[in-house]
Amino acid sequence: MNMEIDIAESFACHIDAAVTRLRYLHPEWDISASASKVNVTVTSEAQAPVARREVNYALYRERIRSEGAPLRELLLKSVMT
């Protein structure tokens, strides 16, 4: 089953990293992405809600990781000095 997941513009810059992570976590899925969509091909219709949830969660995690990086770096610098 092929599904297309629309991605909000605020998450667009995180798509590549999230898709890379998803390819590692779910090698059985065929995943591709464009600027505002992620296409996922799953083996059964029962996996569709799981795939949608995993894509959204991966995007959320990547956004938190990238936006929190400067704060983690500042914290590490302050602890090490």
Q: Token digits for 40?
A: 């996922």
pLDDT of residue 81: 83
Global confidence as pTM: 0.86
User: How far is residue 33 from each of residues 20, 25, 68, 80, measured CA to CA in Å?
Assistant: 10, 16, 24, 40
CATH of domain 2-80: 3.30.70
**For residue range 16-30, what is the model confidence (pLDDT) as tens digits?**
999 999 999 999 999
Q: How many residues does the chain have?
A: 81
d(CA 24, CA 5): 19
Q: pLDDT tens-digit profile of 34-65?
A: 989 999 999 999 999 999 999 999 999 999 99
